[in-house]
Amino acid sequence: MLHAGARFHPERVTQDQEKGTTPRGVQLHPRPIGPIAGIKPTEQVISCHKDTSILVFPGKDGRIGWGLIAKLSNACIYPDCPRRLSPEEIQVMGESAADLQVYRDVRFRDLWERTAPSARASTMLHEGLFETWSCGRIVCVGHSISKMTPNFAQGANTAIEGAAVLANVLCELSPLEARSEHEIAALLHNYSRRQLKRLQIIHAISESVTRVHTRANWMRKALGRYVYPYVPGLALRTFGGVIAPAPYLEYAPLPRRAAELAAWKCSGNKSANAAKWICVLFIALLSCTLWYAIRASE
């Protein structure tokens, strides 16, 4: 297994010319700060603005972790892109977001000013999924082959799932039985085939969620502004239906709480159907309104 540093030279592992990961934006993420009046403990806030989203994670004790995600102003493709921001650039990014609303009366400046400059850091956020994950006896998991923004919060989850699938595949190798290089390469290739389809779906959702959070166009803005906030539990159950059927260690007993999974999957499916119909109705309504508006202006 390779650490994430391998993603900077994926061609050395995969020996092909797959597209690189594309930096989508940059995130500021400081160490947690003290409680702020107006932000309730344990109630996560996602504040969506044009090309920017603010994520706020208050803990049980009210201490707050936050992240500011901003789309890069210039499109760039790896490796021709910056690795991180300088302290001056971090300052400019934070100050330019100062007036953005986080929740009710709370503005971004309330988070920013409580965060010591030494506690502010930045990370370049990439999006990208490679199709080749192994070469001979070398195999990649996690960030080295799959990178998404934190908006859908599935980067670490899918990295752990990948490790579980790889463990299942390796379990098929008996230590007593000699295997040829070709057989081992085929087994490792099998690991990526098992996980790739699931990751393609999760990446598609992650990219969509990121664009809803950053109001990429009027449709995403309308979904984020008028659909998800007014249908309680819609996001959780819709996405839960995709997340729940995750791979697990096939050679170890399932923990008892995994029994609850089946019920979650079911409710996820029902809500996914409900969500589909709400979206269809919403799009139909918008199309009719646009059609009437165009007719009226003629």
Ligand X SMILES: Cc1cc2nc3c(=O)[nH]c(=O)nc-3n(C[C@H](O)[C@H](O)[C@H](O)COP(=O)(O)OP(=O)(O)OC[C@H]3O[C@@H](n4cnc5c(N)ncnc54)[C@H](O)[C@@H]3O)c2cc1C
Site residues (vs ligand X, CB under 6 A): 3-5, 27, 29, 67, 123, 142-143, 150, 153-157, 159
Q: 28 burial class (0-12, 13-18, 19+ CB within 10 angstroms)?
A: buried
Distance of closest approach, residue 201 Cβ to ligand X, in angstroms: 15
Q: How far is the CB of 267 from ligand X (least distance, A)?
A: 22
In angstroms, what is the minimal distance from the CB of 178 to ligand X? 31
The HSE-up count of residue 261 (CA atoms within 13 Å, CB side) is 13
Based on CB atoms, which residue is closest to ligand X, 5 or 232? Answer: 5
Query: Of the two residues 199 and 278, which places its CB atom closer to ligand X in the complex?
Result: 199
Angle at Cα 72 formed by Cα 79 and Cα 86, nearest 5°? 75
Omega before residue 79 within 30° of 0, cis: yes
Nearer to ligand X, 100 or 141 (CB): 141
Distance (Å, rounded) from C-alpha 276 to C-alpha 207?
18
- CB-based contact 179:258 (threshold 8 Å): no
Shortest spacing between CB 147 and ligand X, in angstroms: 7
Taking a C-beta distance cutoff of 8 angstroms, is the pair 181, 136 a contact?
A: yes
- Minimal distance in Å, beta carbon 166 to ligand X? 12
Closest separation between CB of residue 160 and ligand X, Å? 8
Q: Which residue is nearest to ligand X (CB)?
A: 142
Nearer of residues 57 and 264 to ligand X, judged by Cβ: 57
The tokens of 193 are what?
A: 């085939």
Distances in whole angstroms, Cα of residue 28 to Cα of each of 84, 149, 212, 289:
10, 12, 19, 39
Is 143 or 237 the residue whose CB approaches ligand X more closely? 143
User: Pairing state of beta strands 52-58 and 106-107?
Assistant: unpaired
Q: Quick one: DSSP state of residue 19?
A: P
Is the Cβ of residue 121 or residue 187 nearer to ligand X in the bound state? 121
